[in-house]
């Protein structure tokens, strides 16, 4: 048997397989580079949509908006997710990574794909937005780059699965895989489905752009493209929920309220989320209402239920852990006394709140068949997905990065005082940004649009002054969030490349330890609920959940009322 080298991190007890460690570092570093270029284009786009600034000319705006979407939604997030998959398999299971050489192939394919796609966009022949709706044509390299990238990501998924097999075979852990690895597994399964859908639509579109296929039906394209495009967001949800659980465990030693509930909720994602392309087709011609209603909800919104469960169980697990430490006063001492100055925690908690209150509620509301009529393709839509993807996914990944800098990169965090504030600047900036966009969208302001004043149009239109105010606030809060993102990049780049080394020893060797089961819960009399109130283990979390539901119900009702005011149609 070949000898594999590992090191154990003295602070966290995590064990890193040397080739896996290098791969995680490289994937994370490239991810941050993508975040940087995505962030620069974000600034240009935001400053153009801020009516008082209106920075870029139209062609450059649409080009950079295309560039921004792809680099953020696809390249930044998926490079980071590949690092997360390797972490959740090799590192958490104390196992060697399967086929590191293929993992390098995956990495280089992803880099090549990203470069080819970005060059096509920069060449000016692929200003088609991330969605590249046919029959609007793009340079074939636009699709080719995405295909290469997807092949690389697919290899990464199989390496994750292979590592799980090795860990089982070599018995590197006792019992079942940890919850966080389980969550990553669901992300991986959704990713494989997603990439398959991407292949089904992007390969023919590539052939069409080469002139080998004469026609692609626009409605069919949308149906399959969104089976890929929406599913890819479910990878993110499964991944960032896993990161929430991981951070709750790392910072508080939290364990799930019950494994059964949390794992079932992840399985619901696989069963009910990745097919949800219907949300994007609610006002499309050619689909029946029954198809739309069934496919947007699967009869009972089981995927929404899954997120509502995680929204309770993640903070609930933190509350139980905190109460066990003696923070039992009132409903919220556990939360007040949480380490709000630790960016690993504060970022994760803001991510949870922003994802649920802003991203989650708006997503369900606009995914309602009829309400979509007053929201489709308005700037409400990017308002929604910046709350889910940027506050939910990106902010969760940023928080995890603060943990990984000392543990994975063995460096001290540069400017720790600034790092304390970074999640607040970024998170709150992004929350205001999303809310203002949703407000402007409610007033009908369009997404993907260079000029809300219609200066050069033959027929003019004036939005109400409030729409301009809201778009101005979008510009200001967006710039604040980008500042927060810039601080994150500054801190991570300086820490990783020039930072002071962590002092403790962590040398490589061939010895490994086995991942042991968690300590059994010492159940106080009457269940661990005894530590809470009213027979509830986590009364504070329950109260927050009820508050969340109240906001949800009220906002949902308001949107029906608004819909009832528009022209009757049937």
Partner 1 sequence: MTSIQPPAETIWWKQPLDRVEGTWIAIALVWSLIMFVMMPVWHIYGKQNLSNEAYRTTPAAYMAKTQAMVDQYTVRTETDQQIPVVKPPPGSDVYLLGRLWQWWPILELEKGQTYRLHIASMDWQHGFSLQPQNINLQILPGYEMVLTITPDTSGDQTIICNEFCGIGHHNMVGKIFITEGGS
Q: Which of residues 348-367 bind partner 1 (CB under 8 A)?
A: 364
User: Using the rule CB under 8 A, which residue among 10, 286, 330, 339 binds partner 1?
Assistant: 286
Query: In this structure, how many other beta carbons lie within 10 angstroms of the beta carbon of residue 429?
Result: 22
- The span from the CA of 353 to the CA of 472, in Å, is 25
The minimum distance between CB 54 and partner 1, in angstroms, equals 11
**Binding residues among 89-118 for partner 1 as defined by CB under 8 A:** 92
Instruction: Give the range of 126-134, 340-348, 402-410, 476-484 binding partner 1 by CB under 8 A.
Output: 126-134
Asked if residue 450 lies in contact with residue 44, where contact means CB atoms within 8 angstroms, the answer is no
DSSP letter for 509, please: B
User: Using the rule CB under 8 A, which residue among 447, 470, 484, 495 binds partner 1?
Assistant: 447
Asked if residue 333 lies in contact with residue 270, where contact means CB atoms within 8 angstroms, the answer is no
- Which residues is 533 bridged to in the sheet? 536
Is residue 558 a contact residue for partner 1 (CB under 8 A)? no
User: Using the rule CB under 8 A, which residue among 271, 412, 449, 472 binds partner 1?
Assistant: 449
Asked if residue 111 lies in contact with residue 70, where contact means CB atoms within 8 angstroms, the answer is no
Nearer to partner 1, 176 or 328 (CB): 176
Kindly list the distances between the CA atom of residue 290 and the CA atoms of 295, 296, 475, 511, in Å, as whole numbers in the listed order. 8, 10, 40, 59
Is residue 176 a contact residue for partner 1 (CB under 8 A)? yes
- The span from the CA of 70 to the CA of 67, in Å, is 5
The minimum distance between CB 30 and partner 1, in angstroms, equals 25
User: Using the rule CB under 8 A, which residue among 464, 524, 530, 554 binds partner 1?
Assistant: 464
- The span from the CA of 192 to the CA of 181, in Å, is 16
Nearer to partner 1, 110 or 438 (CB): 438
Chain position carrying tokens 């000319």: 57
- The span from the CA of 435 to the CA of 359, in Å, is 10
Chain position carrying tokens 């088609």: 128
**Binding residues among 421-440 for partner 1 as defined by CB under 8 A:** none
User: Using the rule CB under 8 A, which residue among 178, 359, 360, 439 binds partner 1?
Assistant: 178
User: Using the rule CB under 8 A, which residue among 196, 199, 207, 261 binds partner 1?
Assistant: 261
Q: 3-state class of 15 per DSSP?
A: strand
Q: Identify which of 234, 237, 246 has the alpha carbon closest to the alpha carbon of residue 181.
A: 246
**Binding residues among 21-40 for partner 1 as defined by CB under 8 A:** none
**Binding residues among 129-158 for partner 1 as defined by CB under 8 A:** 129, 133, 135-136
Nearer to partner 1, 132 or 141 (CB): 132
The minimum distance between CB 21 and partner 1, in angstroms, equals 17
Asked if residue 197 lies in contact with residue 281, where contact means CB atoms within 8 angstroms, the answer is no
**Residue 213, CB-side half-sphere exposure with 13 Å CA sphere:** 16
Is residue 169 a contact residue for partner 1 (CB under 8 A)? no
How far from each other are the two terminal CA atoms of the chain, in whole angstroms? 70
Asked if residue 93 lies in contact with residue 125, where contact means CB atoms within 8 angstroms, the answer is no
Nearer to partner 1, 181 or 277 (CB): 181
Residues in the chain: 570
**Binding residues among 487-516 for partner 1 as defined by CB under 8 A:** 515-516
388-417 footprint of partner 1 as x/- string (CB under 8 A): ------------------------------
User: Using the rule CB under 8 A, which residue among 376, 384, 410, 411 binds partner 1?
Assistant: 376
The minimum distance between CB 128 and partner 1, in angstroms, equals 8
Is residue 568 a contact residue for partner 1 (CB under 8 A)? yes
User: Using the rule CB under 8 A, which residue among 3, 260, 498, 510 binds partner 1?
Assistant: 260
Is residue 85 a contact residue for partner 1 (CB under 8 A)? no
Is residue 188 a contact residue for partner 1 (CB under 8 A)? no
Count of residues that bind partner 1 according to CB under 8 A: 124
Alpha-helical regions (H) of 123-139: none
Is residue 58 a contact residue for partner 1 (CB under 8 A)? yes
Instruction: Give the range of 211-219, 335-343, 408-416, 483-491 binding partner 1 by CB under 8 A.
Output: 211-219
Ramachandran angles phi, psi of 501, nearest 5°: -70, 150
Nearer to partner 1, 286 or 341 (CB): 286
DSSP 409-442: S-BPPSSHHHHHHHHHHHHHHHHHHHHHHHHHHH
């Amino acid at each position: 048997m070949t000898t594999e080298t590992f090191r154990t991190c003295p602070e966290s007890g995590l064990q890193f397989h040397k080739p896996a460690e290098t791969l995680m570092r490289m994937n994370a570093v490239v991810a941050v580079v993508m975040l940087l270029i995505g962030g620069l284009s974000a600034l240009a786009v935001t400053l153009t949509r801020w009516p008082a600034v209106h920075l870029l000319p139209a062609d450059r705006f649409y080009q950079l908006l295309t560039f921004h979407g792809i680099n953020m939604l696809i390249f930044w997030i998926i490079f980071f997710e590949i690092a997360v998959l390797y972490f959740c398999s090799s590192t958490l299971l104390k196992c060697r990574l399967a086929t590191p050489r293929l993992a390098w192939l995956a990495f280089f394919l992803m880099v090549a794909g990203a470069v080819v796609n970005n060059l096509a966009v920069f060449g000016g022949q692929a200003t088609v937005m991330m969605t590249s709706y046919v029959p609007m044509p793009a340079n074939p390299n636009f699709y080719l780059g995405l295909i290469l990238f997807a092949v690389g990501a697919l290899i990464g998924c199989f390496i994750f699965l292979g590592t799980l097999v090795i860990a089982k075979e070599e018995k590197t852990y006792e019992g079942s895989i940890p919850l966080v690895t389980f969550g990553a597994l669901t992300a991986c399964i959704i990713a494989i489905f997603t990439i398959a859908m991407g292949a089904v639509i992007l390969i023919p579109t590539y052939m069409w752009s080469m002139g080998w296929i004469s026609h692609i039906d626009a409605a069919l394209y949308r149906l399959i493209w969104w089976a890929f495009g929406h599913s890819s967001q479910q990878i993110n949800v499964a991944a960032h929920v896993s990161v929430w659980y991981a951070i709750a465990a790392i910072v508080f030693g939290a364990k799930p309220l019950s494994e059964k509930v949390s794992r079932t909720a992840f399985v619901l994602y696989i069963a009910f989320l990745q097919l949800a392309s219907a949300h994007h087709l609610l006002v499309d011609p050619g689909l029946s209402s029954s198809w739309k209603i069934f496919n947007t909800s699967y009869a009972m919104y089981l995927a929404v239920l899954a997120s509502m469960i995680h929204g309770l169980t993640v903070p609930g697990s933190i509350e139980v852990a905190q109460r066990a430490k003696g923070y039992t006063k009132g409903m919220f001492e556990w939360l007040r006394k949480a380490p709000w100055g630790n960016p690993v925690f504060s970022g994760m908690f803001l991510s949870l709140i922003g994802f649920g209150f802003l991203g989650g509620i708006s997503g369900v509301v606009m995914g309602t068949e009829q309400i979509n009529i007053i929201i489709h393709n308005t700037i409400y839509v990017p308002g929604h997905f910046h709350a889910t993807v940027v506050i939910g996914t990106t902010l969760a990944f940023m928080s995890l990065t603060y943990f990984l800098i000392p543990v994975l990169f063995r460096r001290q965090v540069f400017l720790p005082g600034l790092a304390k504030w970074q999640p607040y600047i970024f998170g709150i900036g992004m929350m205001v940004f999303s809310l203002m966009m949703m407000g402007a969208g409610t007033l009908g302001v369009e997404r993907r649009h260079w000029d809300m004043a219609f200066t050069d149009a033959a027929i003019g239109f004036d939005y109400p002054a409030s729409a301009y105010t809201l778009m101005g606030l979008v510009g200001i809060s967006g710039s604040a969030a980008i500042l927060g993102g810039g601080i994150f990049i500054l801190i991570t780049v300086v820490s990783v490349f020039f930072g002071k080394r962590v002092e403790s020893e962590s040398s490589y060797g061939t010895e490994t330890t086995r991942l042991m089961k968690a300590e059994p819960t010492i159940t106080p009399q009457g269940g661990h609920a005894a530590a809470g109130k009213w027979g509830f283990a986590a009364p504070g979390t329950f109260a927050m959940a009820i508050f969340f539901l109240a906001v949800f119900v009220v906002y949902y009702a308001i949107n029906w009322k608004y819909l009832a005011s528009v022209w009757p149609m049937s």
